[in-house]
Amino acid sequence: MKLNVRYYGDPILRQKAEPVEKITEEIRQLCLDMCETMLSFNGIGLAAPQVGRLLRIFISNVAWEDERGELHLSEPKIYINPVLTAPSDTTAERSEGCLSIPKLYAAVDRPLTIHLDALDIEGNPFSEDCYGYVARNRMHENDHLNGVLFIDRIKGKRRSQLEPALRLIKQQYSS
Ligand code: ZN
Q: Is residue 6 part of a domain?
A: no
Q: Is residue 1 part of a domain?
A: no
CA distances for 32 relative to 4, 19, 133, 141, 163, angstroms: 14, 18, 24, 17, 34
Catalytic entry in 21, 128, 141, 163: 141
Q: Is residue 145 part of a domain?
A: yes
Phi then psi dihedrals of residue 25, to 5 deg: -60, -35
Rounded distance from Cα 26 to ligand 1 centre (Å): 23
Q: Is residue 5 part of a domain?
A: no
Q: Is residue 129 part of a domain?
A: yes
Rounded distance from Cα 143 to ligand 1 centre (Å): 8
Q: What is the DSSP string of 104-156?
A: EEEEEEEESEEEEEEE-TTS-EEEEEEEHHHHHHHHHHHHHTTT--GGGG--H
18 catalytic residue (yes or no): no
Count of domains forming the chain:
1
- pLDDT by residue (tens digit) across 21-68? 999 999 999 999 999 999 999 999 999 999 999 999 999 999 898 889
Q: Is residue 104 part of a domain?
A: yes
Q: Is residue 4 part of a domain?
A: no
Q: Is residue 46 part of a domain?
A: yes
Nearest to 88 by CA among 108, 109, 59, 67: 109
Rounded distance from Cα 21 to ligand 1 centre (Å): 24
Alpha-carbon distance 65 to 112, whole Å?
A: 12
The CATH number of the domain holding residue 102 is 3.90.45.10
- pLDDT by residue (tens digit) across 143-166? 999 999 999 999 999 999 999 999
Model confidence band, residue 175 (pLDDT cutoffs 50, 70, 90): low
Rounded distance from Cα 141 to ligand 1 centre (Å): 6
- What residues make up the domain containing 144? 11-173
pTM listed for this prediction: 0.96
Residue 128 pairs in a beta bridge with 116
